[in-house]
Each structure stands twice: as structure tokens, then as C-alpha cells.
A and B are shown apart, each in its own frame.
Chain A
């Protein structure tokens, strides 16, 4: 999708194959392994997974990371849905 770009901040704890740290650690790891292809195959696989996730609208990566929200509109909508859910739960609990 056109809205998905590489500008997204990947939440903490989610492996980002594009980060410099990961690239450096992979290069470091590759020097310890005699068969470089093993490392690069694995790296390419990670890249493919990341790109597939982005194609899915970022849902796989971002779907359950509400703590990462910074947009006030989205925050407001989460607040509204949260209030509605609380009201429903309270009604059902009291019933």
C-alpha cells in the first residue's frame, strides 16, 4: 500500500532486519561462520518476512502495540472504544 513506508517506527522488541545494529551484528556473526551463505540466506528470509508484513498494512507488526501510538486522533478513537467496551462489560456484569 502506498501509505506504508519505511518511515514507520518498528516497536521495541520487534526484530528490525533493516536496523544498523542488526546489520553489524550479522556481519560480525558472519565472520564467525565459515559458510557465509547461511547467514545471508537467513537475512534475506528476514527481509522477505518484513516486506510481507508491510504489504499486509503493518498489521502483523503494529496490530497489538497500542503503547506506540502517538497520533492524537488514533489515541482518541482508542479512548472512545475503550469507554464503550467498559460500559458494555459493566452492563453485562451487572445483568
Chain B
């Protein structure tokens, strides 16, 4: 009789470098956030090969957007925006000292809300299967 489990194990390991017959990988909270960020980054359109983008919810009050552009392996520009949800508004804190830290409004607020809605929908569907 053929040992099916052994066969699957060998084939999956050879093809994908993963042993499918083993236990599923359990992610930590940090890894979950990284997965969410992968999903979140795609909300803002295709990511260029020389671009690193993150968008994720860190805790009940904090959202982060991060973007890095590299050239010849070196980071030539980077920007981190921290959106802090406060009962009186969304306070944007920027890593760029030339950008004023302020409560967002108008189109920026609309965009932020839309991004969080899309993040919610995609993360729930793709990661948490809800």
C-alpha cells in the first residue's frame, strides 16, 4: 500500500518548499499586521519594483502609511504618516518635518476613510475569511 502522506510531503516540499502535511503555520500578532499591511499597501494601486509600501492598522487609535523609494539598492526617499484617531478628528503626524502635523479634512479625510473601508473589507475577506 502506498504511503500517501509521505508522497504528498515529498512532492509539496519539492515543488513549493513547504510541507503541506505538517501543521498550519500560526502567525503572531506582528506577522498578522505584516500580512494586513501587504493587503493594505495594494489599496493605493500597483507597487513599483523599486518601491516599498505599507499601510496597516496598528492599534485601535493608530494607522500607518509608509512609502520608500529605492535606487540602486539605496533608499532615496521615504515617508511615514501616522494617522491617530481621536474623538475630535484624525490627526496626521508626518515623518517629514516640512509637513505640518494637523487634523486632516476635505479630500484627504475622504481618502483616508475610503482606504480604511477598503482595508477592512479586504483584510476580513482575504486574511480572516469573514
Min Cβ gap A41→B in Å is 30
Give the interface SS of chain B, mostly helix, strand, loop or mixed. mixed
Range of interface residues on A (Cβ < 8 Å): 20 to 34
Give Cα A69–Cα B88 distance, bound, in whole angstroms: 7
B79 within 8 A of A: no
A33 within 8 A of B: no
Q: Is the CB–CB distance between A88 and B113 below 8 Å?
A: no
Min Cβ gap B17→A in Å is 23
Give Cα A77–Cα B112 distance, bound, in whole angstroms: 10
> B109 contacts which chain A residues (CB < 8 A)?
73
Of B60, B61, B88, chain A has the most CB atoms within 10 Å of the CB of B88
Q: Is the CB–CB distance between B117 and A85 below 8 Å?
A: no
Using a CB-CB cutoff of 8 Å, which residues 65-95 of chain A contact chain B? Answer: 65-66, 68-69, 71, 73-74, 76-78, 80-85, 87-88, 90-92, 95
Give residues in B with beta carbon < 8 Å to A: 26-27, 29, 32, 36, 57, 59-61, 84-91, 101-103, 109, 113, 116-117, 119-120, 123-124, 127-128, 130
> Which 9 A-B residue pairs are closest in the complex by CB-CB distance?
A87-B128, A95-B26, A80-B120, A3-B103, A69-B87, A81-B60, A62-B87, A80-B116, A77-B85
Give residues in A with beta carbon < 8 Å to B: 1-3, 8, 57-59, 62-63, 65-66, 68-69, 71, 73-74, 76-78, 80-85, 87-88, 90-92, 95
